[in-house]
Amino acid sequence: MQYDALIVGGGASGLMAACALARRGRHVVLLERQNRVGRKLLSTGNGRCNLTNLNASAGDYHGSRQAARAALKAWPPNRVMDLFGELGIPCRADEAGRVYPMSNHAASVLDALRLCCDEHGVDTRTDFAVAALKKVGGGFEAVPADGQAVRARLALVCTGGLAAPKLGACGDGYRLLEGLGHAISPRFPAIAALKTPPEAVRGLKGIRAEGGIALLVNGEIVREEAGELLFSETGVSGIAAMQLARQANEALRAGKHCTVRMDFMPGIDARAALKARADKLPLRRMEDFLSGIVPKRLGQTLAKAAGLDMALPAGELKPAQIDALAAVLNGWTLPVTATLGFDQAQVTAGGAALQGFDIRTMQSLRCPGLFAAGELLDVDGDCGGFNLQWAWSSALIATEAMDALL
């Protein structure tokens, strides 16, 4: 049997592509190496599935922003939301533009995609690891490690990247595309926790604090974020810090020096605030002096970083000591030695080079009839629904072009 289209990868892009083609009456086979589809999708948005972002623009993406721009033009967030409405998933957006299913459950999104595939006759085959994808005759052949090969007129590869191997990421798609003539750019973790010298954060595991954080490369600020910072025994996490991972990895790979600077009193003159606090609480020792501004353990760490004795009463602080404490409150600076690896990262930076694809259709320029979509390609977005928006829109562009060829 020859299908109209074979789709390699049963994640967000693959499921969306299968639904879109099948709804157009195309005969589709969806191949997934795991024993079920959509595992990573269930973990998105802390289990709520941040579907897209109403404010998405090319500036929210890295790698090939040109491809991201084309995808957003063809399938903007509102159009994606309308499509999910057709699939039985009404959506709503929060004040930051992040869009979630009304149910607030990622499982609802997966169920809708899976049910759409079933209802429109998609042949979904799990436990099907594609060992090779070959151009044969008038189409393509997906060859499994064992078992019978599958043939189709067109092929779409959307196997995802390397992030979250516990959820099935393995990089198979890179090998398949390389075998058909495509170049793969270096891959590294994006949206991942930052590692610092462990002695700097020792004792802060589990501490959360609101503030600003900036990444400095060779002393120059390259990106700033604000929000919750979460400390671990190896460094600093939380979305604000994790957003800096891509640029940190790029710089570290180039042999550049990286630091993060954290501001726990953003927009406030810490020196004046500390002077007034010391006047009001002259007997308060340094071990407790910053409690109420920041969590106690963090306050003690900052006081030590400023070179202060924990037993020193606030009333005995000298101007230079107030300056030192203000400096760490408004700008505690730590070296960045690395980020956590793919096992802890949310997204893969790098991937299949877009120079090998027509970004208007996502069709290969090297191998006609071959398409690719999603995280497998060299496009990655910031946190906030941008990566799923790319997954949906790139897959939908591909399916429109595939349908036109069938």
Question: In the chain, what are the domain boundaries?
Answer: 2-188+349-405, 194-339
Residue 313: is its pLDDT beyond 80?
yes
> Which tens digit of pLDDT belongs to each residue from 195-226?
999 999 989 999 999 999 999 999 999 999 99
Mean of per-residue pLDDT scores for the chain: 96
> If DSSP codes are grouped into helix, strand and coil, which group holds residue 4?
strand
Once rounded to an integer, what is the mean pLDDT over residues 308-334?
97
Q: How far apart (Å, rounded) are the C-alpha atoms in residues 228 and 301?
A: 18
Residue 137: is its pLDDT beyond 90?
no
Per CATH, is 2-188+349-405 categorized as 3.90.920.10? no
> Which tens digit of pLDDT belongs to each residue from 154-201?
999 999 999 999 999 999 999 999 999 999 999 999 999 999 999 999
Residue 232: is its pLDDT beyond 90?
yes
Q: Which two tokens stand for residue 274?
A: 């500390």
| pLDDT score for 149 | 95
At residue 45 the predicted structure's pLDDT band, cuts being 50, 70 and 90, is confident
Rg (CA), the chain: 25
| pLDDT score for 50 | 96
Once rounded to an integer, what is the mean pLDDT over residues 285-292?
96
> Which tens digit of pLDDT belongs to each residue from 368-393?
999 999 999 999 999 999 999 999 99
Question: C-alpha distances in angstroms, 333 versus 219, 261, 325?
Answer: 11, 4, 13
Residue 147: is its pLDDT beyond 80?
yes
